[in-house]
Structure 1
Amino acid sequence: MFHTYDESLDWIHSRLRFGIKPGLNRMKWMLEKLDHPQKKIKAVHVGGTNGKGSTVAYCRSILVEAGYEVGTFTSPYIEQFNERISLNGRPISDDEITSLVNTIKPLADELEETELGSPTEFEIITAMAIYYFGVMNPVDITVFEVGLGGRYDSTNVIEPILTVITNVGMDHTQILGNSLEEIAYEKAGIIKQSTPIFTAVKDDRAFKVIQKEAKEKEAQLLQLGHDFVVKDILSTEYSERFAYKSVTETIENLEIRLLGHHQIENAAGAVAALLWLHGQGTIRLNKEVIRAGLVKANWPGRLEVLQKEPTIMVDGAHNPEGLRALTAALENRFFGKKLKVVFAALKDKDLTEMCTILNDMNAELYVTEFDFPRAATAEEFKKMTGNQTIITHSDWKILINNLKNTMQYNEVLVVTGSLYFISLVRPFLKDQIAKLNIE
């Protein structure tokens, strides 16, 4: 029995030693012991390589605007652990985390003695979220973000009312496969029998895999660019504007504060999915609710502007797909300004392709490192790039402070890379900027 939040969190993080163990049997075992709380949840399941969290944020914001009580399960966290399990966008309390741990820990101890072995950290947190929204604090609708892949991800024990796959790119290749088709097969594993699937996947190879799975599961498949589209796109320095159109609905003058064309696609996927639920009578929406929900949607650490003049941004571009989206957004928005990019990554990512993308950036490049077991050192990464003009610094705080304090009006500072890195940088930068404004 744990009495404090810190004890509970320490126990959860101690499960990291069990690593990543794809498979659903341990989850099913725990949920059976908990009397199947997943069956009590009305859930939307969101998978994909990038854009999962943003899509969750759009869904949540629109549903909250419509007056629904909305639960979300996301990963990783940016500011505090509790945000992984949130209610109407607010992280659940420390006491609730402790209560959940005291419910799940006896099961984890019992499971450890079986042939299935010990549950991982992510399995523990997933079980906590399902029990919270199924038993402790039932809500109108819950949006679950896939952790890794899909088919054997811990979240794939839920029974969703609809499914979203944002896109498919090369990430986690050591687990999911070395081709888009293999990765798409894992992502498509969240498609359920007769449950509609919405996707923004463009690559024909990946789409055909998803299409095949949907056909086998008799699941209605709706694709961005075919069944619903975006048009009249206008990018401003700090927002995106567009119109949404499908066979049954046209919504003009939509605006989002999350930057990048990819965010328009994520927003369109969320709108399409929720409009389908509206059409089924599951929820009730109108155009004004959708418009207001989108503009209020917030997802920290994704092309997030922390300071406008001069501009300082953070973005968790932790894989090639994300880095390409960041590059496109910067080129579209800050043409004529001098870009300074600070990057740090995990060494188990596809760094070779990321090196190429960074080298092609029209920017002054800085590489640093952070305290994390799988983090690449600055010198390791610079060597991989083969780019002698890259400036390295082992202390990210000193590097970022120096760059921030010497910025000119026409410069843009972008800190990017691993989401674990961004979770450290973001509060640090926000604090530094706040102190500067007070002075």
Structure 2
Amino acid sequence: MEEKFNEAMNYIRSREQFGSRPGLFRIRYLLDQLGNPQDDVKFVHIAGTNGKGSTVTYLKELFMNSGFKVGTYTSPYIERFNERICINGRHIPDEDIVYLINVLRPIVDKMDKTEDLFGLTEFELVTAMMFYYFHEKKVDVAVIEVGLGGLLDSTNVGHPLVSGITTIGLDHMQILGQTIEQIAEQKAGIIKQNGTVVTGNLPENALHVIEKKVRSTGAKIYRYNKEYYVDYIMSKQLTNEYFSFNNAGHSFPILSTSMIGSHQVENAGTALQMYLLYMEKCQLSVEPKIVAESLNNAFIPGRMEILSERPLVIVDGAHNVPGMERLHDNLQGMLLNRSAESKLFILFSAIHTKDVSGMIRLLEDIKQAEITITSFEYDSALSAVEIARHCHRKIAVINNWERAISELLDQMTNDDFLIITGSLYFISTVRQKVRRLLRRENEIVGFY
């Protein structure tokens, strides 16, 4: 089986050569050859610059604890490809990936022989695998994350019962557009005729674009702090965030999430509103206890994930400027609650497709932070020296990330804290190493 699995994965990876090719005609042809499985899968669809993965995770917990058989589709993966397609939180088995490739490969190979259909991308292939798999396994509901944008993303097929747009910021500008409004138009592309959409905490100019699309499609919209209300409850506890939630039909005076950061309150609120609408459409009752437990139990690796408490070590995939803005605000809040002797260390790396200058500017704005720049093995990774060119204050430059982590941990006291951040691919690479280093010190707690 291992040999067959490796062969299947090599075939999937072979499609990476075609890069990102927005458009729906290839995926629609492939799905049509498979019998259009997407039409038989009940699903919710989530777009957004940031917050998609967390919102998927909250919804997964809410649906699972409500007795549903739940499929989830996310990207990128943190440790293993199989994470991208899950049922009830269990990664797709190797043998099922082999089975799916055996089904899809003859169709894709045939497509490659025609000029119009040549060059199916890796993401299109995996999306088709996902829809076919969830259809075959008869999931009750699938929670599907958009890959890039929305309008022309290969997940934008079928008819979701509820759609969600978590956040909108400047990212992937070379593909989605140079302004918030242009990017919002791409995200709004997931809104279907007479559909239902929930929006997170969006900038006003982005929300106006979404509202225009809603009016043109006859869809219903539920806006953050307009049709549903989320109020952050300040707490000095590091391990949880607290909030209240209210809409026209439900009131939850106090809820919590163990995923830290004020932005997680917004993500949890968006997910809860989507869940409540889905349950209403299915004419199912909502149990407050299930809601509270589900939101608190939700966890996603690499997002403000605490790997150690003494010293405090957190990994966070703040991989673009909007994500870094959230991390910046979270760190400023954390510094207010720590002693004057506590030092903040930041280890950062990035890939060349991101606004590195913008991210560095936000990190440098945290005056108390001691910043170290590093690199990692990945085709798009920048060298530490290339990143350092964007810096305007004293920093440390250590190109080898393993040495950088070891040196930082060696100089830290139990009162200090370290944030490892930047590219999600960087977080995926270093996370296991950090866990091993901390476990060796018998300090590891709460890792995934």
- Report the TM-score when normalising by structure 2: 0.95
Counterpart contact for 1:166–1:199, Cα < 8 Å: yes
The aligned counterpart of 1:151 is 151
Counterpart contact for 2:308–2:443, Cα < 8 Å: no
1:352-391 alignment, distance < 5 Å = 352-362=357-367, 363-387=369-393, 389-391=394-396
Letter in 1 for 2:168: V
The aligned counterpart of 1:413 is 418
The aligned counterpart of 1:79 is 79
1:271-350 alignment, distance < 5 Å = 271-335=272-336, 336=338, 337-350=342-355
Shift of 1:29: 0.5
- Give SS of 1:361's match: coil
Counterpart contact for 1:165–1:201, Cα < 8 Å: no
Deviations 1:102-141 (A, max 9, x none): 1111111111112121111111111110110012x11110
Shift of 1:89: 1.1
Shift of 1:393: 0.7
- Give SS of 2:390's match: helix
- Give SS of 1:157's match: coil
Shift of 1:438: 8.8
Shift of 1:411: 0.7
Q: Does 1:50 align with 2:55?
A: no
Letter in 1 for 2:86: S
Distance 1:130 1:260 in 2: 32
Counterpart contact for 1:3–1:98, Cα < 8 Å: no
Distance 1:148 1:272 in 2: 23
Letter in 2 for 1:180: I
- Give SS of 1:374's match: coil
Q: 2:404 aligns with which of 396, 399, 402?
A: 399
1:133-144 alignment, distance < 5 Å = 133-135=134-136, 137-144=137-144
Letter in 1 for 2:138: P
Counterpart contact for 1:2–1:8, Cα < 8 Å: no
Shift of 1:356: 1.3
Deviations 1:73-96 (A, max 9, x none): 000001211010011111111111
Shift of 1:281: 2.9
- Give SS of 1:392's match: strand
- Give SS of 1:334's match: helix
Counterpart contact for 1:52–1:145, Cα < 8 Å: yes
Letter in 2 for 1:407: M
Letter in 2 for 1:372: Y
- Give SS of 2:322's match: helix
Deviations 1:327-385 (A, max 9, x none): 11122123343110000001111122112112112310011011111111111111122
Distance 1:401 1:93 in 2: 35
The aligned counterpart of 1:110 is 110
Counterpart contact for 1:66–1:284, Cα < 8 Å: no
Deviations 1:7-58 (A, max 9, x none): 1112111211111100000000100000000011000000000000000000
Cα 1:282–1:16 change in 2 (3 A) is farther
Distance 1:348 1:282 in 2: 45
Counterpart contact for 2:310–2:443, Cα < 8 Å: no
Distance 1:438 1:211 in 2: 49
Letter in 2 for 1:190: I
- Report the TM-score when normalising by structure 1: 0.97
The aligned counterpart of 1:181 is 181
Letter in 2 for 1:414: I
The aligned counterpart of 2:266 is 265
Letter in 2 for 1:285: V
Structure 2: gaps of 5 or more residues:
none
Q: Does 1:199 align with 2:211?
A: no
Distance 1:334 1:129 in 2: 42
Counterpart contact for 1:240–1:255, Cα < 8 Å: yes
The aligned counterpart of 1:161 is 161
Letter in 2 for 1:309: R
- Give SS of 2:389's match: helix
The aligned counterpart of 2:125 is 124
- Give SS of 1:156's match: coil
Distance 1:2 1:25 in 2: 34
The aligned counterpart of 1:215 is 215
Distance 2:312 2:3 in 1: 44
Distance 2:282 2:94 in 1: 36
- Give SS of 2:17's match: helix
Letter in 2 for 1:394: N
Cα 1:437–1:48 change in 2 (3 A) is same
Letter in 1 for 2:375: E
Letter in 1 for 2:65: E
Counterpart contact for 1:234–1:241, Cα < 8 Å: yes
Shift of 1:3: 5.5
Distance 1:188 1:98 in 2: 35
Deviations 1:163-211 (A, max 9, x none): 0000100000010011000000001001111111000143111001111
Shift of 1:431: 2.0
Counterpart contact for 1:201–1:207, Cα < 8 Å: no
Deviates most, 423-432 or 280-289? 280-289
Deviates most, 3-12 or 168-177? 3-12
Structure 1: gaps of 5 or more residues:
none
Distance 1:111 1:281 in 2: 38
Distance 1:109 1:350 in 2: 37
The aligned counterpart of 1:37 is 37
